[in-house]
Amino acid sequence: MQRISLTESNLSLSRLIYGVWRLSDDPDSSIKQVRAKIDAALAEGITTFDHADIYGNYDCEQLFGQALALDSGLRAKMELISKCDICLNTDKFPDRRVKYYDTSAAYINASVELSLQKLHTDYLDCLLIHRPDPLMNAAETGAALDALIDSGKIRSAGVSNFHAPEWRLLQSHMRHRLVVNQVEMSVLCQDAFLNGDLSNIQTDGLVPLAWSPLAGGRLFGTEAAAQRVRPLLAKLAAEQNTRVDLVAFAWLLKHPAHILPVVGTNQVTRIQGLAEALAIEIDRETWFEIWIAASGNELP
């Protein structure tokens, strides 16, 4: 499995990342099943796992952490990303009236402590600010992230769903470099390719992570764009004796920005074989053929 180095640190991430947002949706959310998914990912060379404090209504980190607690050697074999700043209005927080964002130092520090506890670890490899907070005090947030890196509780910091003005403001208040931006990208979600996000990510030396690289499964559903592009993906998959999901990942991997897809399947059999995506050939014209089929429009 290819690895991608993060700026200004000794850290690297696996080119494919396993995202655990849906971990607690699995009807079998036993520790044994969680461990089977971790092992299947590691066997593919996928060593980076993407969490957020809120996943599974605040339960996924704990679920994953139980597997880590049972095997003291496991943590060292992986990189853990987590995120914070979204405050869900759920049964876990009956006093909250609405969902809101919090990038205050106190909130970030408390959230990291909880993530570390739940994951049974003493450091995160990367902490992301999950969504841009319109009330962010960049000096306070930046100082909090710097201090967490200095303390060793997080090894690096990044952002998610940020546009350039937002991350540049935060970066301008930090000593350490922001290392990643995680945004939605897939054959069905092409915005970042044209709205400047992917260009600015490259200009600023961030590593782009693609969430919902199969459009959260909608690629296999009934919406028109999915129905237009799927036969083409299926034809390419048949030609290269591979799977449709892997062709969709290969389409992202082809981009010169070195996109890291964050894969979200709950099925061990779909985790198995994921590394094959890196070997799939997609030439320039085919890349655009997929783009055009998905968007439904010829290029201008």
Ligand X SMILES: NC(=O)c1ccc[n+]([C@@H]2O[C@H](COP(=O)([O-])OP(=O)(O)OC[C@H]3O[C@@H](n4cnc5c(N)ncnc54)[C@H](OP(=O)(O)O)[C@@H]3O)[C@@H](O)[C@H]2O)c1
Rounded to a whole number of angstroms, the minimum distance from the CB of residue 229 to ligand X is: 14
Residue 55 is among the residues annotated as catalytic for this protein? yes
Closer of 147 and 273 to ligand X (Cβ): 273
Closer of 214 and 225 to ligand X (Cβ): 214
Rg of the Cα trace of the chain?
19
The two three-digit tokens of residue 100, written as one number: 């809101």
The residues that touch ligand X, with contacts defined as CB under 6 A, are 19-22, 50, 160-161, 182, 211-217, 220, 245, 262-267, 270
User: Where on the phi/psi map is residue 78: left (φ > 0), alpha (ψ -120 to 50), or beta?
Assistant: beta
Closer of 33 and 143 to ligand X (Cβ): 33
Query: CA-CA distance, 15 to 13, in Å (whole number)?
Result: 6
The SS3 assignment for 67 reads helix
Residues 54/56/58/63 CA torsion (nearest 10 deg):
-130
Query: CA-CA distance, 7 to 227, in Å (whole number)?
Result: 39
Catalytic residue among 55, 100, 101, 123, which? 55
Closer of 124 and 263 to ligand X (Cβ): 263
Task: Give the 3-state secondary structure percentages of the chain, helix then strand then coil, rounded to 5.
Answer: 45, 15, 40
Rounded to a whole number of angstroms, the minimum distance from the CB of residue 278 to ligand X is: 16
Query: CA-CA distance, 42 to 14, in Å (whole number)?
Result: 10
Report which residue's Cβ sits closest to ligand X. 264
Rounded to a whole number of angstroms, the minimum distance from the CB of residue 285 to ligand X is: 25
Rounded to a whole number of angstroms, the minimum distance from the CB of residue 199 to ligand X is: 20
Residues designated as active site = 55
